[in-house]
Chains A and B, each alone.
Chain A
Amino acid sequence: MAGPGIVPALGEEAIFHAGDRIRVLDREPIGHYRVPTYLRGKRGVVEQVIEPAFVDNEEEGFGRNAGSKLHYYRVAIPLTEIWPDYTGGPRDGLYIEVFETWLEKA
């Protein structure tokens, strides 16, 4: 976090925090993506902000290695949210890193 009097640049600080309820965006871009389709539109909770900020892997996949730094978030999504008929265990969960551009508050 920026100290007193310090103005962080846009995108420098994480916009989600541990405990935030989120939804993975339901988009279908063409090209290189890092959000598996089975998680699109699913709701979960931010478990941890991954520090430091990274270049967007989806941009990096096309050789664009600068200018897209934002945070990744480790997100916890119940398996019962992903598969409505999941019977393995009510607390079983999926944990994954999702880039900031793929998340919205839920």
Chain B
Amino acid sequence: MESQEHDHDDHTHPHEEVGRQDKPGYYDMLETAVRELLVEKKLIGADEIRRQIEVLDSRTPALGAKVVARAWTDPEFKARLLADGRAACEEMGITFYDDTLLAVRENTETVHNLVVCTLCSCYPRPVLGLPPDWYKAKPYRARAVIEPRKVLAEFGTIIPDDVEVRVHDSTAMVRFLILPRRPDGTDDYTEEQLAALVTRDTMIGVVPARAPQGSAAQ
């Protein structure tokens, strides 16, 4: 492996080359081969691939956080969101570039919802962007449906015995977004301040939303 010699202000030393070090794997090569064939046969163009990457890059958990904060502050929007997640997101300018529907599930005092895709990596990409690596990894995919409470505990989320756990295995046309509980002590927060409390993992259902120094909803 070649290293890159360069000078810092106060020292000189070699750095590892930036970028991937190992050889591409079987599926990396398969993807490259299929992509190049599709382009060569003019079924899709390089520009379309680039455009779709831009589409995905424009979707991040910040969009979902805005949706959640709106639901926390606007009861009518929340009702529409729970009735038809996709239509409510579209109201906020979040388009759905695929044919998936969006179901929003609300965590409450009595029910805790968790999302997984046991078959692959189905995820509400239009509103959250790309899923985290652990979501696509086999341990999470298998264990979320076998021992969801243990998986949640490993995220630091202890579910009381009297709370019902609902695991949503998204494998077909519907994607799931979890509406976390609004943290206590946030009554005077603006919608923007609330959105800052909503992380990606809260919308997958593995952790509660928390106020900065406070706790999650009790």
- Say yes or no: B172 contacts A97, CB within 8 Å: yes
- Say yes or no: A97 contacts B171, CB within 8 Å: yes
Bound together, the chains give a CA A38 to CA B142 distance in angstroms of 10
B152 nearest CB neighbor, chain A only: A88
Q: What residues on A are CB-neighbors of B147 within 8 Å?
A: 88
With contact pairs A36-B119, A94-B145 given, residues A74 and B174 touching in the complex (Cβ less than 8 Å): yes
Q: What residues on A are CB-neighbors of B202 within 8 Å?
A: none
Q: What residues on B are CB-neighbors of A57 within 8 Å?
A: 172-173
Q: Scan A69-106; emit 1 where CB is below 8 A from any B CB, else 0.
A: 00010100001001100001101111111110000000
Q: Least Cβ distance of B162 to chain A in Å?
A: 8
With contact pairs A34-B119, A50-B101 given, residues A96 and B148 touching in the complex (Cβ less than 8 Å): no
- Say yes or no: A93 contacts B167, CB within 8 Å: yes
B172 nearest CB neighbor, chain A only: A97
With contact pairs A91-B164, A92-B166, A95-B166 given, residues A36 and B146 touching in the complex (Cβ less than 8 Å): no
Give the size category of A's interface with B: 20 to 34
Bound together, the chains give a CA A36 to CA B166 distance in angstroms of 17
Q: What residues on B are CB-neighbors of A72 within 8 Å?
A: 172-174
B176 nearest CB neighbor, chain A only: A95
- Return the contact of A88 from the options B148, B168, B169, B170 (Cβ within 8 A): B148
With contact pairs A88-B149, A89-B164, A94-B145 given, residues A36 and B118 touching in the complex (Cβ less than 8 Å): yes
- Say yes or no: B174 contacts A50, CB within 8 Å: yes
Bound together, the chains give a CA A99 to CA B159 distance in angstroms of 31
Q: Least Cβ distance of A90 to chain B in Å?
A: 9
- Say yes or no: B164 contacts A97, CB within 8 Å: no
Q: Scan A45-59; emit 1 where CB is below 8 A from any B CB, else 0.
A: 000001000100100
A95 nearest CB neighbor, chain B only: B168
B159 nearest CB neighbor, chain A only: A89
A sample of 26 inter-chain contacts (CB < 8 A) reads: A34-B119, A34-B172, A36-B118, A38-B118, A50-B173, A54-B172, A57-B172, A57-B173, A79-B145, A79-B167, A88-B149, A89-B161, A89-B164, A92-B148, A92-B149, A92-B164, A92-B165, A93-B166, A94-B166, A94-B167, A94-B169, A96-B168, A96-B169, A96-B170, A97-B172, A99-B172
Instruction: Identify 9 new A-B residue pairs, CB closer than 8 A, beyond the known A92-B149, A95-B168.
Output: A34-B171, A34-B172, A38-B118, A89-B159, A89-B164, A94-B169, A96-B172, A97-B170, A97-B174
